[in-house]
Structure 1
Amino acid sequence: MGHACPGCGGRLDEPFLCAACREGLRAWAQGDSVYLGLYGRVGGLVRALKYGRRFGLAPLLARPLAEGVLAQGWALSGVTAVPTLLPRLLRRGYNPPELLAKELARRLHLPYRRVLVRVRYAPSQPTRGRGRAKLPPGLFVPKGRVEGAWLLVDDVLTSGATFLRAKEALLQAGAERVYGAFLAVRDPAALGPYR
């Protein structure tokens, strides 16, 4: 099929992800979040979706995340994604968290809305080293009003700083509670501080 499996690096015997990796996908839950695994284990999947343009991975990865969300019993009103800056969106052509969020919304039978806009630049979190937890306020602004509890989707939770800023903006938009869904978590300790 032309590519190695992005999950294990082995032979790709099914489209986008090998059968063994598909079978092994499951969501983990901690606090108000669900995620597929630590970056060291599922980083290949993140990179394939984010940089490899393997869009077909989004539905496959959304399935276990949706199951994890349903298992938590959250009464959600909608799903949205952490937005990227327009220049990044134009350069890449798509926003990976949005691809995933749309698939999650479809599987959860919930509306997807672009609630937030990113209005300020901050370096990409993986490049920031120890300074990454210090992001300026006002990084995101709401485009409109929402109600109820919302699921906020991002591809990787690094320090939790970006998610925290997006969560703050979503609460300003009217959300009563914000839950998180991620493909990968770099440090499980980051799952606690933003709650």
Structure 2
Amino acid sequence: MLWGLLEGLLGHTCPGCGNRLDAPLLCRGCRQGLRAFAAGEMVYLGLYGRVGGVVRALKYGKRFGLAPLLAEPLAEAVSAQGWRLAGVTAVPTLLPRLAVRGYNPPELLGRAVAARLGVPYLRVLRRERYTPSQPSRGRARRHLPQDLFAPVLRVEGSWLLVDDVLTSGATFLRAKEALLRAGAGRVYGAFLAVRDPGALGPYR
């Protein structure tokens, strides 16, 4: 409560609804409304129009403490699906981007999800090349090179691949392919937000 009051005095608002904070990082109403949805072999918190605020706060606002809060409903949804996971990994970013930002939001989220599921988190993939930001590109143009990601470890069993936003599905597909090349027998997905519900279609 004291942290919520302090953030309120500092002018911080809830990234979920924009109202005054009455709890640290995320207001009580938004905390109570957190739940994840399942679509085939994917789980996600909601459409970008609804949860985009918390995505931006984690991705650009450096509100690292949001990761454990947002990971909890995702982990619950994964458990409800009955997926038997060998581990969790995240879609990697380029080293220059990591150097500028200082952290990779999907990795923060993935580590928190793995901790709640009681399975290992490993950096299985490496990003090999730059591509423009997906939200800035038309859906018809989102054809990414097949060698966008490369495995750096050998794995086995089923893995959960975490990213912050599912836009067209192209980035997830390339990362999934690389994770399969790493030895994964099956790859599931977990996201904070989905920009285009149509992107869920191929994976249902």
TM range (shorter): over 0.9
User: Is the contact between residue 16 and residue 53 of structure 2 (CA under 8 Å) also seen in structure 1?
Assistant: yes
Partner of residue 13 from structure 2, selected from 4, 11, 21: 4
Once residues 64 and 194 of structure 1 are traced to their aligned partners in structure 2, the CA distance between those partners, rounded to angstroms, is: 21
Question: Structure 1: which amino acid aligns with 2:71?
Answer: A
Partner of residue 107 from structure 1, selected from 101, 116, 128: 116
Percent sequence identity is 76
Give the RMSD, CA atoms, in angstroms.
0.9
Structure 1 residues 7-156: aligned runs within 5 Å: 7-156=16-165
Q: Which moved more, 1:185-194 or 1:74-83?
A: 185-194
Q: Higher Cα Rg: structure 1 or 2?
A: 2
**CA drift at 1:145:** 0.4
Distance change (3 Å), C-alpha of 1:132 and 1:4: farther
Aligned residue pairs: how many? 195
User: Is the contact between residue 44 and residue 194 of structure 2 (CA under 8 Å) also seen in structure 1?
Assistant: yes
Deviations, residues 129-176 of structure 1 (Å, cap 9, x unaligned): 234421111000000100000000000000000000000000000000
Equivalent in the alignment of 2:194 = 185
Once residues 64 and 39 of structure 1 are traced to their aligned partners in structure 2, the CA distance between those partners, rounded to angstroms, is: 16
Question: Structure 2: which amino acid aligns with 1:139?
Answer: L
User: Is the contact between residue 82 and residue 152 of structure 1 (CA under 8 Å) also seen in structure 2?
Assistant: yes
Partner of residue 160 from structure 1, selected from 169, 175, 179: 169
Equivalent in the alignment of 2:180 = 171
Once residues 173 and 136 of structure 1 are traced to their aligned partners in structure 2, the CA distance between those partners, rounded to angstroms, is: 18
Q: Which moved more, 1:132-141 or 1:3-12?
A: 132-141
For the residue of structure 1 that corresponds to 2:191, the secondary structure is strand
User: Is the contact between residue 139 and residue 168 of structure 2 (CA under 8 Å) also seen in structure 1?
Assistant: no
Distance change (3 Å), C-alpha of 1:131 and 1:87: farther
Runs of 4+ aligned structure 1 residues displaced above 4 Å come to none
Query: Structure 1: any 5+ residue segments left out of the alignment?
Result: none
User: Is the contact between residue 41 and residue 203 of structure 2 (CA under 8 Å) also seen in structure 1?
Assistant: no
TM-score if structure 1 supplies the norm length?
0.98
Once residues 88 and 124 of structure 1 are traced to their aligned partners in structure 2, the CA distance between those partners, rounded to angstroms, is: 12
Once residues 56 and 144 of structure 1 are traced to their aligned partners in structure 2, the CA distance between those partners, rounded to angstroms, is: 29
Query: Structure 2: any 5+ residue segments left out of the alignment?
Result: 1-6
